[in-house]
Each structure stands twice: as C-alpha cells, then as structure tokens.
Amino acid sequence: MKNVYLINFGSAVTVLPASAAEKIVGGQATLTDVRALTALLSLPDGNEKTAGAVSALTGLSEDVCESSLAFWRGAGVISIADTVANDAPQQPSFEPAADETEAKPAKAVKAAKAAETAKSAEIEKKDKKLLSNDLPKYSGIQISELLEKDGGKLRNMIDVCQQFIGHILNPNEINTMVGLCDWLGLDAEFVITLCAYYTGKKPGCNVRYIERAAVDLVNSGIETPAQLESYLKDMELYDGLAGKLRSWLGIGTRAYTKKENGMIKRWVKDFGYGEDVVRLAYEITVDAKGSFNFDYAGKILENWFAAGVKTVEDAQARVNEFKSNKKSSNEQSSSFDIDELFDLAIQRSYKKMGDKK
C-alpha cells in the first residue's frame, strides 16, 4: 500500500513562488540556493531582506548568499527593490501652492507631461525584450549623416568590421551595423570587439549572426565594453572547460543538456573555478561513483565554494582536512542527510587516492 502524505502547516506558513518550486523540483537550484531563498522568504517583514540578513540566518558567507540570490533573480523569482535616498532631490511639482492664485503656465504643464511620457517610454523600452527585427531601416541620407557623426566614429567601425568579416558590407549590412550603435545604444568599440570575437570563433560568421548576438547581450543587460569583456572572458573559460569535459567523458560531439550547460556555466561564472579545480572534483566523482555524474560533481564544487575554496590548492587543503578527520565505520551515522553522505563518499575516495601514492 502506498503512503499518502499530508502537510502539517502548524501555526505559520512560508509561501514559495511556483517558479521557484519548478527550479527546485527540476534540479536547476542547488541546496545552497534553496537555503538562501528559504531564509529570504522567512525573514520578518520588518527586517531588511538583504544578502547580509540571509547570511546571518543561514551561516553561509555573504558572497555565497549573493551568488544564490543572483541565481533566483535570473530565474525571475526575486528582484531588487527600488530605493530612493532620503536626501535625493525631489522632482519639481507643477501643482499650484495652496496660496497661489494663478495657475502655472500651460507650457510648464505640457513640459511635465512630455517628460513623464518620455520617462515611461524609456522604462517600457528597457523592460521589453528586443528582437532583431526591431532595428530600424535608415534612409541613405540618414546613414551618411550617422557615419560622419562624431568625427566618423561609425565609419571607422564599419571599416574595421569589414576586415574581420572578410568582405565589403552591402547597404543592408551597413544599416544593421549602424543600428547596433544608434538604436541599441552600443559603443563602436563594443561592436568591434563582438565582431572580432565571433568571426574568430566561427569562420564564415556574418552580420546577421553578430546582430542576433548583440540583441541577446543587450536583453541580458550586457551593454558596455567592460561588461562585454567580462562576458567573453567567462565564455572562453566555459568553452575551455566544456571541451575538457568532453575529452574526459569521451562523449564526442553529443550536445550538453540544458541542465549540464547551466551547471558548467555556474562553475565558471559564479564559482570562478577553472579546469584544475573541476578536474579534482571529476576524479573524486569517478573514484566514488565509478563514472562521472554531473550532480555528484556539482555537489562537491558547491560545497567547496560554500567553504571558501577558490583555487586547487584550497581544494586540496579540504581533501587533507577530510582525510585527517574521517570517521571510523562504526561511528558513521545512519542518517540520510545528503551533505553527510557526500562527505563520507568523498573521504573514501580520498583514502583510495592516498593508497595509490
């Protein structure tokens, strides 16, 4: 007979957003992510809901809490509250004072309405996801004016990008490249860097591909040359690690699943781990499980990150700590706590590694 379970709510309830439950059930959220979100949800309304408050409640470091809360922001589960400093200048009011006998000039009222309309349009543009076909079509005269603007900055950009792409751009392609700067607001340096990266990475890369990449980046909040440089650095690390994992796992050209891709990106971007640290986690996983398991390796890396491990030397120090503090078999608990089970498995793996030396 199958057990049917009831939930005992008791005297209090913590509400979990459905989108968060989907991430947890689907396996995209780690144990640390779940702890951070649960702590955030359980903070009383009078308390400031910050990473510091979550850190104090969970015992996790504030950096770890920030990383997990960033994951939930990216999933759309939480957002950052808008705050206004107490000493911030107040917006001018166009309402007449109590003792005023004359109305404000009609021009001032119209200016206020125009400013409010422009502000609303700007907010709507930022909130709306852009599409490649949102880029406008310029006339020949408009293109000429834009190319000569600011000392010919865009013309120079076109000349450089043509060299990377390998052919003279046609009018439609020039229209697209100009639109990336004029409509999307990207700096010419941003477009040149993007063009250099993708043409070097993907032979035969065309303007259409660069356009889609630029739109995707803007939709992700990457809009400055500095942000692009950081993103491309993460991509290089991801590509290198993803390639190494293919070699270690012998999976050939099989595409990674969405979950696997997300885990690798998190190891690189959020944890800051390179090939050496992941390689150690890989070896521990294979020794303990007999083959590589993404979830198992991910748990090891998550635990290391939560413990402040940044380099392979830090990870090796954790190895030595586990080895020196390992428990005898008769002291092992029968608890099914997942953290303890992972720790014990890792200890056994380290012992094997030590025996081989």
For residue range 96-115, what is the model confidence (pLDDT) as tens digits? 344 444 444 555 555 555 55
Give the per-residue pLDDT at 59. Answer: 82
With tokens 């700007």, the residue in question is: 122
Which of 261, 274, 348 is CA-nearest to residue 304? 274
Higher pLDDT, 30 or 85: 30
CA distance readout (Å), 329 to 189, 324, 325, 334, 352: 61, 15, 13, 11, 16
Over pLDDT 90: what percentage of the chain? 19
Q: Which is more confidently placed, 192 or 127?
A: 192
The residue-averaged pLDDT of 20-48 equals 81
Q: What is the pLDDT of residue 168?
A: 93
Sequence letter at residue 271: F
Q: Look up tokens 């635990």; give the residue.
A: 303
Please give the pLDDT value at position 68: 76
Residues 76 and 34 sit within 8 Å (Cβ to Cβ): no
Q: 199 near 180, Cβ under 8 Å?
A: no
321-355 per-position pLDDT tens digit: 877 776 544 444 444 445 555 665 566 555 555 55
Q: How far apart are CA 139 and CA 357, in angstroms?
A: 72
Question: Does 71 have pLDDT greater than 70?
Answer: yes
Q: Worst-scoring range by mean pLDDT, 37-46, 80-89, 219-228, 280-289?
A: 80-89
Q: How many CA atoms lie within 13 A of 308 on its CB side?
A: 5
- For range 306-316, the mean pLDDT: 90
At residue 256, the pLDDT reads 83
Looking at residue 170, its pLDDT comes to: 93
Residue 62 Ramachandran class (φ > 0 left, ψ -120 to 50 alpha, else beta):
alpha
Task: Return the pLDDT at 130.
Answer: 60
187-199 pLDDT tens trace:
999 999 999 999 9
Give buried/exposed letters for 316-328 (b at 16+ CB in 10 A, else e).
eebbeebeeebee
CA angle, 242 then 248 then 254, to 5°: 60
C-alpha count within 13 angstroms, C-beta hemisphere, residue 16: 14
| Cα separation, 70 vs 79, whole angstroms | 9
Mean pLDDT of the chain: 77
SS (H, E, C) 91-123: CCCCCCCCCCCCCCCHHHHHHHHHHHHHHHHHH
CA distances (Å), origin 162, targets 68, 157, 167: 42, 9, 6
pLDDT band at 171 (very low <50, low <70, confident <90, very high): very high
- CA–CA gap between residue 271 and residue 313 (Å, rounded): 15
If you average pLDDT over residues 105-129, what whole number do you get? Answer: 53
As a whole number of angstroms, the distance between CA 158 and CA 168 comes to 9
Candidate from 5-9, 43-47, 143-147, 178-182 with smallest mean pLDDT = 5-9
Report phi then psi at 195, rounded to 5. Answer: -65, -45
Q: Stretch 191-210: mean pLDDT, rounded?
A: 89
pLDDT digits (tens, 9 = 90+) for 77-100: 888 775 433 443 333 333 334 444
More confident: 66 or 178: 178
**pLDDT greater than 50 at residue 244:** yes
Q: pLDDT for 145-159, tens place per residue? A: 999 988 999 999 999
Tally of residues, the chain = 357
Q: What is the pLDDT of residues 256-272, one digit of tens each?
A: 888 888 898 889 888 88
Q: Could you tell me which of 350, 355, 308 has the C-alpha nearest to residue 327?
A: 350
pLDDT value, residue 340: 56
pLDDT at position 177 is 93
Q: Which of 259, 266, 263, 189 is nearest to 228 (CA)?
A: 189
What whole-number distance in Å separates Cα of residue 235 and Cα of residue 209?
17
Measured between alpha carbons, how far is 341 from 73 in angstroms, rounded to an integer? 30
User: In this predicted model, which residue has the larger pLDDT, 176 or 89?
Assistant: 176
User: What is the structure's pLDDT at 109?
Assistant: 55
For residue 32, give the nearest of 53, 63, 76 by alpha carbon.
63
| Position 117 pLDDT exceeds 80 | no
